[in-house]
Amino acid sequence: MEKKNIDWGELGFSYIQTDWRYVANYVNGVWEEGGLTAEADVVINECAGVLQYSQSCFEGLKAYTTEDGRIVTFRPDLNGQRMEDSCKRLEMPVYPKEKFVEAVIETVRANAAYVPPFGSGATLYIRPCMFASGPVIGVKPADAFQFRVFTTPVGPYFKGGVKPLTIRISDFDRAAPNGTGHIKAGLNYAMSLHAIVDAHNQGYDENMYLDAATHTKVEETGGANFIFVTKDNQVVTPKSGSILPSITRRSLMYVAKEYLGLETQEREISREELTEFAECGLCGTAAVISPVGKIVDHGREICLPSGMTDMGPVTKKLYDTLTGIQMGRLEAPAGWIQEIG
Ligand SMILES: *Cc1c(COP(=O)(O)O)cnc(C)c1O
């Protein structure tokens, strides 16, 4: 198959339209048979539930080329499960996870010419999403929905090398206790836009959100979970009901324990404890792990011993091991790699 004429190394993280997407509609209480279409634009009524009351959720994962030339994705079944969970919390019809995985595979296969070659560092980002297409004016769930999977090629995350991030503790909250922080709802992002624009204006790369009730415990950033490394090499991650369960973070915790023999813990992490850690990283599909060099708590600078030029040693090992599994250099646990072709 002939690849598209794209300068893979120069790609950033922005939408580039590819040839095919998968669409299925929910009408009269059932999911109609879905399929591929070339039509990238969506036409919906002005009163559609997604436009009025933000009834929508999404997922994000990547397809890439392994060292030996196979196109694969990483644990798409977990994205499918998470979208089921999001749909239930948002009163949207569940799109079954098995069909979700099939739709992902079909969409990537159709856009294989856009899957960047091994070694380019670029990947094909996959965006499954669901939104209320039916009209609602009274506040209630819509009665028509669309499930859609589209793709866009994205560039290497660490273009020009790794640069540890400077983040600030935010006074804005991301998620309420018993709210929607644990699901991938579009609305969680709408309300974080002001906080991230403000952080950027103040010279910070990201916001560290604390628990909304007490502002004493670490939660996550707008789109990535935290992992910390203690001075005695334990890998710890915050436990909270309002954190989005990152598939990357869950995979890294497994890798820490089972591949690297490190002690791991998911527990509450207090704001006061931040000065105690040796390393800190943000984990998510986009970067796998992005190292944090500095955390600013209202003028008080907390500098991680790992510094502002490189990943810390444990973060680096975690990064190398997980990307090794993803790229086919290391043997993957059963079921982690989904072959596309
Ligand atoms: C998507 C997302 C993550 C990262 O999850 P991955 O499955 O690792 O990509 C973390 N936090 C939030 C708020 C997210 O929406």
What is the per-residue pLDDT across 109-148, written as a single tens digit (0 to 9) for each? 999 999 999 999 999 999 999 999 999 999 999 999 999 9
Q: Is the pLDDT of residue 108 over 80?
A: yes
Q: Which position among 184, 217, 294, 316 bears the catalytic label?
A: 184
Torsional class of 203: left (φ above 0), alpha (ψ -120 to 50), beta (otherwise): left
State the pLDDT confidence band at 1, using cuts at 50, 70 and 90.
Answer: confident
pLDDT at 280 (0 to 100): 98
Look at residues 158, 168, 189, 196 and name the one whose alpha carbon lies nearest to residue 291: 158
Question: What percentage of the chain exceeds 90 in pLDDT?
Answer: 97
State the pLDDT confidence band at 160, using cuts at 50, 70 and 90.
Answer: confident
Tell me which residue has its CA closest to atom 10 in ligand 1: 224
- The per-residue pLDDT for range 52-86, each reduced to its tens digit, is 999 999 999 999 999 999 999 999 999 999 999 99
State the pLDDT confidence band at 157, using cuts at 50, 70 and 90.
Answer: confident
pLDDT averaged over every residue in the chain? 97
Q: Which atom of ligand 1 is nearest to the CA of 60?
A: 9
Would you say how long the chain is, in residues? 341
Cβ density class 94-116: b for 16+ within 10 Å, e for less: bbebebbbebbbbbbbbbbebbb
246 pocket-lining for ligand 1 (C-beta < 6 Å): yes
Q: Is the pLDDT of residue 204 over 80?
A: yes
In this structure, what is the dihedral angle of CA atoms 156, 157, 163, 165, given to the nearest 10 degrees? 170
pLDDT at 161 (0 to 100): 84
Token pair belonging to 59 = 């997922």
Q: Is the pLDDT of residue 156 over 90?
A: no
- 211 CA to centre of ligand 1 in angstroms: 17
Question: Cα separation of 11 and 23, whole Å?
Answer: 26
For ligand 1, mutation pick of 225, 243, 290, 319 (most atoms within 8 Å of CB) = 225
163 among known catalytic residues = no
The mean pLDDT of 84-102, rounded to a whole number, is 98
- The per-residue pLDDT for range 230-252, each reduced to its tens digit, is 999 999 999 999 999 999 999 99
| Higher per-residue pLDDT: 204 or 156 | 204
State the pLDDT confidence band at 164, using cuts at 50, 70 and 90.
Answer: very high
State the pLDDT confidence band at 334, using cuts at 50, 70 and 90.
Answer: very high
